[in-house]
Amino acid sequence: MPMPFTIKANLIDIVAREIYPAEVVIEGHSIVSVTRVDGPFGTYILPGFVDAHVHVESSMLVPSEFARLAVTHGTVGTISDPHEIANVLGTSGVDYMIDNARQVPFHFYFGAPSCVPATGFETAGAVIDADDIDELLARKEIVYLAEMMNFPGVIYKDEAVMKKLASAKKHGKPIDGHAPGLTGDEMKAYFNAGISTDHECFGYIEALEKLRHGVKVMIREGSAAKNFETLIPLLKDFPEQIMFCCDDKHPDNLIESHINEHVKRALAHGHNLFDVLRAASYHVIKHYNLPIGLLQAGDNADFIEIDNPGDFNILKTYINGNLVSEKGASFIEPVAAPIVNNFHCSLKTPEAFKLKSESDKIRVIEVLDGQLITNELYAEALNINGYAESNTEQDILKMAVVNRYSDQPVALAFIKNVGLRSGAIASCVAHDCHNIVAVGTNDEDICKAVNLIINAKGGISLANEEEALVLELPIAGIMTNRPAEEVAAAYTALDRRAKALGSTLRAPYMSLSFMALLVIPELKLSDKGLFNGKRFEFTEVFC
């Protein structure tokens, strides 16, 4: 139990929407009193930030390590969807995240993963059915039904989907949405089913329509998907319906910033201070009914101290009355994290990545930098000796998805805008099923990069004639128990090497991780084949 203490500072009261000099008395985990006093003071205090939607696993860190970095940026809590580890390990993966998270002073609030697997068009390591969802939602540590990605199932009232939604309503817990590009009558049918949020808006008009329908829109700025600039103008007219989230944050980016970046950028755009800060904490806390404090008497003592609202440098972070960070230094101690996994495929040969030509025309996945959506393109195939090959001159490269759970034929397609001029990159941080995704300029290097991951039973890799680099991720194949700083350094090194090989993407590995995410249109590749996310059906590589 922390010792009683008093703080005198300028209090940014986001509940009353005013700033005043105050004396705040903290005893144990709670704020005993907040008293207006004479001032002003040299620093400001305000509620800590809460990420409205994040997959902790995408940081490649276990929750305890994620927290150790996040508190340095003023974050005191997250709404965490554990469906990444759930797709690998099922409900035992959810338990793993909860068990690790409760060992550190940080407010992790987990959801029940609604779509495991996300679709029936890919291979996952586990299934969480409607009965499992009901059991999870009955637990106090599960505070919501996580993103309902199966929007066709909602719109056309699939029985299993309806049972999951009904369970959330029965337990009185919010339902998160996932409806990229959905508008019109289909959008209305989806959200009228009881779904209340969406973090997947990538267009201003799309988000505006959802806001007018009463949906709470999360403005996302992560390592791959960057929607802040497009959506932040909506904060002015819909301040009570906006929340901030990262969704996915790689370790190098998490060292640099978290929700504090949303706050600084929104203020730089000229938005009202209280509208911005409420999007960063208040609305999240109220929507999910969280016991995180808002600097009111009787609240939990969760708050941050900054230099001033102009520069917004985080000086201190308090959680449960404990000082957990000061001037960029985290006081959260590392926690031992046991290894759990589900990796059962054999090493591959280059022949597994050969694609016999069937036509002179191919469908191509077009990567859009900073977006999760892709386009469907058509291009001339580069056919050599009866096989379709990567065409580096046109930046049309071969892509492969390898089933990690059993030995199955490799799925192959082509992708544009990755930019590699030589070598290959691969990752089994590949939403949602976390099979191995690889892109490369030739079959030998693709095979080499894939085998690095198979040998490590998880990771991200890079390979060419001279190099064989891998960041091993032994926990479920998507996380590591190494210190966050080491992971960030290793990730940064691989990111730089990928760019040195020609990749023009801002975050090559993060972008790669979404190229097997079938629920985001338009064209993606699963371990079972090329998939059209608009029509929700498989399609052919050759046309």
- Owner of token pair 């371990």: 527
Q: Which helix (H) or strand (E) holds 83?
A: helix 83-89
Average pLDDT over residues 156-166: 96
Sheet strands side by side (includes 216-220): 197-198, 216-220, 242-245
Average pLDDT over residues 226-238: 96
* 3-state DSSP assignment of residue 534: coil
Average pLDDT over residues 5-19: 97
- Owner of token pair 């959802």: 210
Map out the domains of the chain as residue ranges. Answer: 49-290, 350-538
For residue 119, is pLDDT > 90?
A: no
DSSP assignments along 229-262, one per residue: HHHGGGGTT-GGGEEEE-B---HHHHHH-SHHHH
Phi, psi (rounded to 5 degrees) for 106: -160, 145
Sheet strands side by side (includes 30-36): 30-36, 18-27, 5-13, 44-47, 303-306, 314-319, 322-326, 329-330
Tokens of 447: 């095979």
The pLDDT tens digits of the residues spanning 64-92 come to 999 999 999 999 999 999 999 999 999 99
The overall average pLDDT reported for the chain is 96
Query: Are 168 and 136 in contact, with CB atoms under 8 Å apart?
Result: no
Query: Are 376 and 522 in contact, with CB atoms under 8 Å apart?
Result: yes
The pLDDT tens digits of the residues spanning 273-321 come to 999 999 999 999 999 999 999 999 999 999 999 999 999 999 999 999 9
pLDDT score at 427:
97
The pLDDT tens digits of the residues spanning 404-425 come to 999 999 999 999 999 999 999 9
Sheet strands side by side (includes 424-427): 374-380, 361-367, 411-416, 396-402, 436-440, 424-427, 459-463, 468-472
Spell out the long-range contacts of 441-448 with Cβ–Cβ below 8 A and sequence spacing 24 or more: 441/390, 441/392, 441/397, 441/398, 442/389, 442/390, 443/350, 443/351, 443/353, 443/354, 443/398, 444/350, 446/350, 446/353, 446/398, 446/400, 447/348, 447/349, 447/350, 447/352, 447/353, 448/424
pLDDT score at 185:
97
Q: Which residues of 503-537 are buried (b: 16+ CB within 10 A; e: fewer)?
A: bebebbbbbbbbbbbbbbbbbbbbbbbbbbbeebe
For residue 475, is pLDDT > 90?
A: yes
DSSP-assigned letter for residue 356:
B
For residue 2, is pLDDT > 80?
A: no
Instruction: Indicate left, alpha or beta for 286 from its phi (over 0: left) and psi (-120 to 50: alpha).
Output: alpha
The pLDDT tens digits of the residues spanning 201-212 come to 989 999 999 999
pLDDT score at 284:
98
Q: How confident is the model at residue 3 (pLDDT cuts 50, 70, 90)?
A: confident
pLDDT score at 444:
98
**Strand bridging mode 382-384 / 387-389:** antiparallel
Average pLDDT over residues 30-40: 95
Query: Are 462 and 449 in contact, with CB atoms under 8 Å apart?
Result: yes
DSSP-assigned letter for residue 13:
E
Sheet strands side by side (includes 107-112): 49-54, 75-80, 107-112, 142-148, 175-177
- Other Cβ atoms less than 10 A from the Cβ of 196: the count is 15
CA distance 322 to 297: 17
CA distance 40 to 37: 9
Cα-trace Rg, the chain: 23
The fraction of the chain above a pLDDT of 70, given in percent, is: 100
Q: In sequence order, which residues have a C-beta less than 8 Å from that of residue 39 and are 6 or more positions away?
A: 8, 10, 20, 21, 22
Query: Are 228 and 220 in contact, with CB atoms under 8 Å apart?
Result: yes
Tokens of 82: 């554990």
Query: Are 514 and 433 in contact, with CB atoms under 8 Å apart?
Result: no
Tell me the residue type at 93.
G
DSSP assignments along 427-493, one per residue: ES--TTT--EEEEESSHHHHHHHHHHHHHHTSEEEEE-SS-EEEEE--BTTTBB-S-HHHHHHHHHH
The pLDDT tens digits of the residues spanning 431-468 come to 889 999 999 999 999 999 999 999 999 999 999 999 99
For residue 7, is pLDDT > 80?
A: yes
CA distance 292 to 302: 7
The pLDDT tens digits of the residues spanning 340-399 come to 999 999 999 999 999 999 999 999 999 999 888 999 999 999 999 999 999 999 999 999
pTM listed for this prediction: 0.94
Q: Residue 488, class by beta-carbon neighbours within 10 Å (0-12 exposed, 13-18 middle, 19+ buried)?
A: buried
pLDDT score at 224:
73
Phi, psi (rounded to 5 degrees) for 534: -80, -45
Query: Are 522 and 372 in contact, with CB atoms under 8 Å apart?
Result: no
pLDDT score at 118:
85
From residue 212, how far is each of 50, 52, 116, 165 by CA, in Å? 24, 20, 31, 23
User: Omega into 57 within 30° of 0, i.e. cis?
Assistant: no
pLDDT score at 489:
95
Nearest residue to 498 (alpha-carbon basis) of 427, 433, 431? 427
For residue 1, is pLDDT > 70?
A: no
**CATH numeric code, 49-290:** 3.20.20.140
